[in-house]
């Protein structure tokens, strides 16, 4: 037997695996690296986060990705090169993190790499009926395996698409195993570039768990802050706090059919972008309002899409508790806009469930790799619209 296949076979039989989960989100801020210790699999899964870091991308890396990110028309030569370059860079960043943590690569069993989403195209966005749902994450797993010497699983979303899904959100698979409760109906709200939640019904409930995207999260605020002020974000909502919400613009922004479609559903900056803003400004006759008012309105828009979605999903439920993660928790105005609505529902940081919120998505991919190598897909019958599948492609180091 090939020694690497034999090694993988041994890893699959271990009681516990050390898996590095990687996430590089739509905000393009950096690479999240989570070293997890994962015991058992399926309903018996345990997960401990041993080490976590986010290594920020340098400006050149960010600029290169931005040249193709969420764009319909791009330079194919650049796409081709970035597939290798992102893989190579991610491999090098893992080596750097392991060195900082003083952990030899031989102590790590597997890497689980999400890659960098560059385009997300469900049929609900494209309007296609013949061409299928599709999504593209770059950063080839062979490069990561070769550079780190660690067996790598990557490209998790393709199997979900192949089995009839939109390729996202995948969060329900992990959240269901780790965070379901006996006493609470939980909404695990993540506010990254795009906002999404996982609904986890009480354990004895007949309802099924599911995950869904909700709306723009931080992405439109980030894009506008970059265009108008050259800033990566409206840090601490300093600019939005100086503005006022323009109701006509807000109402125009809230008309996207995506926002009113049934759950689960997915979206991305392919829809929620500055072109979408400009269209809403034209329709609402607000093209010349001050930039701080636009930011205040975009902030309110992101909050409203979240609030409307959760209210709709929780209408018939009692004992509802919302746990929030993602970079949006650091935006005080966004959190205020959300909390002001949920006066009788408790809204807590996801950290109260015992896991660093910034590491949540990277841990999810470590858990998905664990399921693929050592799990059985039986429990996913309790998750709505989630095909029982093993996700991720396996890359051997040499
Ligand atoms: N202090 C802050 N003030 C305002 N916004 C902040 C602050 N800190 C983080 N953010 C927002 O959070 C974003 C990063 O969030 P996160 O890392 O969760 O996104 P992501 O993982 O890239 O997105 P996704 O989950 O959609 O893929 C930043 O781009 C910024 O918009
Ligand atoms: C295509 C894609 O990369 N989608 C991401 C993105 O970031 C948030 C939201 O949009 C979610 O649908 C998904 O990520 C999380 C980790 C998921 O799959 O659950």
The answer, yes or no, to whether any atom of ligand 1 lies below 6 A from the CB of 30, is: no
pLDDT digits (tens, 9 = 90+) for 68-102: 999 999 999 999 999 999 999 999 999 999 999 99
Give, for ligand 2, the residue of 169, 172, 177, 365 to mutate: max count of ligand atoms closer than 8 Å to Cβ. Answer: 169
* Residue in the block written with tokens 């890659």: 115
The two three-digit tokens of residue 256, written as one number = 């996207």
How many domains does the chain divide into?
2
Q: Which residues are annotated as a binding site?
A: 25-32
The Cβ of residue 393 has, within 10 Å, a number of other Cβ atoms equal to: 16
Do 107 and 196 belong together in one domain? no
The Cβ of residue 321 has, within 10 Å, a number of other Cβ atoms equal to: 18
Do 125 and 64 belong together in one domain? yes
* Residue in the block written with tokens 């609505």: 341
Do 32 and 122 belong together in one domain? yes
The Cβ of residue 285 has, within 10 Å, a number of other Cβ atoms equal to: 11
Do 335 and 370 belong together in one domain? no
Do 320 and 344 belong together in one domain? yes
Do 226 and 149 belong together in one domain? no
Do 99 and 243 belong together in one domain? no
The answer, yes or no, to whether any atom of ligand 1 lies below 6 A from the CB of 194, is: yes
pLDDT digits (tens, 9 = 90+) for 251-285: 999 999 999 999 999 999 999 999 999 999 999 99
Selection from 88, 98, 95 nearest residue 61 by Cα: 88
Do 211 and 297 belong together in one domain? yes
The two three-digit tokens of residue 41, written as one number = 């699999």
Q: Write the DSSP string, 198-264.
A: EEE--TT-SSPBEEEEEE-TTHHHHHHHHHHH--SS-GGGTTGGGS---HHHHHHHTT-HHHHSPSS
For each of the chain's 398 residues, which pLDDT tens digit applies?
A: 999 999 999 999 999 999 999 999 988 999 999 999 999 999 999 999 999 999 999 999 999 999 999 999 999 999 999 999 999 999 999 999 999 999 999 999 999 999 999 999 999 999 999 999 999 999 999 999 999 999 999 999 999 999 999 999 999 999 999 999 999 999 999 999 999 999 999 988 899 999 999 999 999 999 999 999 999 999 999 999 999 999 999 999 999 999 999 999 999 999 999 999 999 999 999 999 999 999 999 999 999 999 999 999 999 899 999 999 999 999 999 999 999 999 889 999 999 999 999 999 999 999 999 999 999 776 677 888 888 789 999 999 99
CATH number at residue 337: 3.30.420.40
Three-state DSSP class for 286?
coil
Atom of ligand 2 nearest to the CA of 326: 8
Strand 46-56 with 195-200, pairing: unpaired
Do 190 and 270 belong together in one domain? yes
CA distance 346 to 210: 20
Q: Which residues are annotated as a binding site for ATP?
A: 25-32
Instruction: Read off the DSSP letter of residue 44.
Output: G
The answer, yes or no, to whether any atom of ligand 1 lies below 6 A from the CB of 236, is: yes
Do 175 and 161 belong together in one domain? no
The answer, yes or no, to whether any atom of ligand 1 lies below 6 A from the CB of 284, is: no
Beta bridge partners of 16: 39
Domain containing residue 243? 171-353
CA distance 2 to 12: 15
Burial class (CB in 10 A: 0-12, 13-18, 19+), 288: exposed
Do 323 and 375 belong together in one domain? no
Do 252 and 319 belong together in one domain? yes
- Supply the residue whose CA is at minimum distance from atom 21 of ligand 1: 25
The answer, yes or no, to whether any atom of ligand 2 lies below 6 A from the CB of 135, is: yes
CA distance 255 to 272: 12
């Amino acid at each position: 037997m090939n020694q690497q296949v034999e090694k993988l076979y041994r890893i699959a039989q271990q009681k516990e695996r050390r898996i590095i989960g990687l996430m590089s989100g739509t905000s393009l801020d950096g690479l999240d690296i989570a070293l997890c210790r994962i015991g058992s699999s399926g309903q018996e899964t345990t997960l401990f986060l041993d080490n976590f870091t986010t290594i920020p991308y340098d400006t050149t890396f960010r600029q290169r990705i931005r040249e193709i990110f969420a764009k319909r028309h791009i330079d194919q030569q650049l796409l081709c090169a970035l597939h290798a370059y992102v893989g190579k860079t991610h491999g090098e960043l893992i080596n750097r993190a392991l060195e900082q943590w003083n952990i030899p690569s031989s102590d790590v069993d597997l890497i689980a790499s999400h890659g960098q989403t560059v385009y997300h195209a469900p049929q609900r966005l494209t309007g296609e009926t013949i061409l299928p749902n599709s999504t593209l994450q770059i950063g080839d797993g062979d490069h990561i395996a070769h550079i780190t010497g660690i067996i790598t699983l990557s490209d998790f979303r393709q199997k979900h698409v192949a089995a009839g899904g939109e390729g996202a959100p995948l969060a329900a698979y992990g959240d269901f195993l780790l965070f379901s409760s006996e006493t609470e109906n939980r909404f695990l709200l993540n506010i990254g570039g795009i906002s999404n939640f996982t609904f986890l019904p009480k354990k004895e409930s007949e309802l099924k768990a599911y995950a869904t995207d909700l709306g723009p999260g931080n992405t439109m605020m980030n894009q506008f802050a970059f265009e108008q002020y050259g800033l990566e974000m409206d840090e601490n909502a300093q600019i939005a706090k100086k503005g006022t919400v323009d109701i006509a613009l807000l109402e125009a922004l809230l008309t996207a059919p995506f926002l009113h479609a049934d759950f689960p559903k997915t979206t991305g900056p392919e829809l929620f972008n500055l072109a979408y803003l400009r269209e809403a400004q034209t329709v609402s006759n607000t093209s010349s309002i001050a930039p701080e008012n636009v930011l205040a309105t975009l902030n309110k828009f992101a909050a409203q899409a979240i609030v409307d979605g959760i209210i709709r999903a929780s209408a018939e439920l009692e004992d509802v508790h919302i746990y929030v993660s993602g970079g949006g928790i650091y935006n005080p105005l966004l959190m205020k806009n959300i909390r002001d609505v949920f006066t009788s529902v408790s809204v807590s940081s996801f950290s109260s469930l015992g896991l660093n919120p910034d590491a949540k998505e990277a841990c999810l991919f470590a858990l998905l790799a664990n399921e693929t190598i050592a799990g059985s897909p039986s429990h996913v019958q309790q998750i709505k619209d989630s095909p029982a599948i093993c996700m991720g492609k396996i890359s051997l180091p040499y």
